[in-house]
Structure 1
């Protein structure tokens, strides 16, 4: 195990402070109303220090949100390979929704969705980036479903993936605007089952 120098430890501490302070400010004032200058003043560091750690303020959000990728990899490893593709997709989504509810929380998700709708974020933002682990996993399951005759052959893999992605985003959005009695994992499961049934072949 590599031992960090004092300078490296201090850099990590600064990065974590910038991350936490940024997210706190985004949650309090709204992503679009917080500047890099406000973040650096609150942390008592220079703008140059901020940009050493994060290319932009949106990258602060991505840094936190990308923790999900490690979680998806863990979920994938624990799924029975013998299950039908549709059941694998449901299991991944159910675990994802539990994680979003219990670990990520509404505040951060609201910030991510709000930031995605501002003109300060590039079009190919994280929510729809095809390189995300969740989408790579879904692609694998969709390909399996088509090859095994579970899913319809007349809909392309990208189109099926787009439909399934919209299930996820639509349910998360509903969760964000509903009261606490909205069970995200349960609602996601019901909604996605209906959509997946519509994608299945009539064999």
Structure 2
């Protein structure tokens, strides 16, 4: 077991305090209305300390979500493994994640989170530290699909997960901003089918009539 130093413990305690205070303020008065100065005051730390841990406010939300997913990830994966195929696993986990975050986060914070995730998804492929906990769940589903022959072997799982997360993020933002316009479950099903099967017509290529 890795021994954690006193300095590392203090850093983790500070990081947790920043997240707790920031999320409390975001929920009470709104994301845009909350300043870094207010977060620092609530956490009883210097403003610069926050920037030592998080480059922008959105990164605080992202880590908050990441920590929640990491806590529930093992239980979710255990349930998903009981499903019959990759398609049903992906649809279930994508729907449950959006439903869960929609309950846990208000629409303002929810939108900020997904926009930030889209901005950082390419970097997260190279840097493990900024990956979402959710990407780890998706990666395990993809790896299982490769073992069963449902997912192609020649593309790295991290690349496939990045593509799937990007598609899902656009859908999530559309749902948050205009939930009355479409069924989120049907949209997820369509996204998963395109991800697994591509955009090619099932009937083959049909020339367009002029």
TM tier, shorter chain? 0.5 to 0.7
Cα distance in 1, alignment partners of residues 159 and 123 from structure 2: 17
Residue segments in structure 2 that go unaligned for 5+ positions in a row: 1-13, 200-210
The Cα offsets for residues 145-185 of structure 1, whole Å up to 9 and x where unpaired, read as 22322223454433322322222212112223324454333
- TM-score, normalised by the number of residues in structure 2: 0.63
- Structure 2 CA distance for partners of 1:170 and 1:92, relative to 1, 3 Å: same
Q: Deviations over 1:48-94 (max 9, x none)?
A: 6x938x82353532343221332333221212446222322222112
1:78 aligns with 2:79: yes
Aligned to 1:51: 49
Q: Which has the higher mean CA deviation after the structures are superposed, 178-187 or 168-177?
A: 178-187
2:25 to 17, 21, 25: 21
C-alpha distance in 1, partners of 2:60/2:163?
28
Secondary structure, aligned partner of 2:31: helix
CA contact 2:87–2:192 (8 Å) conserved in 1: no
Offset at residue 20 of structure 1 (A): 0.7
Secondary structure at the residue paired with 2:106?
Answer: helix
TM-score between both structures, scaled by the size of structure 1: 0.65
Root-mean-square deviation (Å): 4.0
* Equivalent residue, structure 2, for 1:170: 170
Aligned residue for 2:90, secondary structure, equals helix
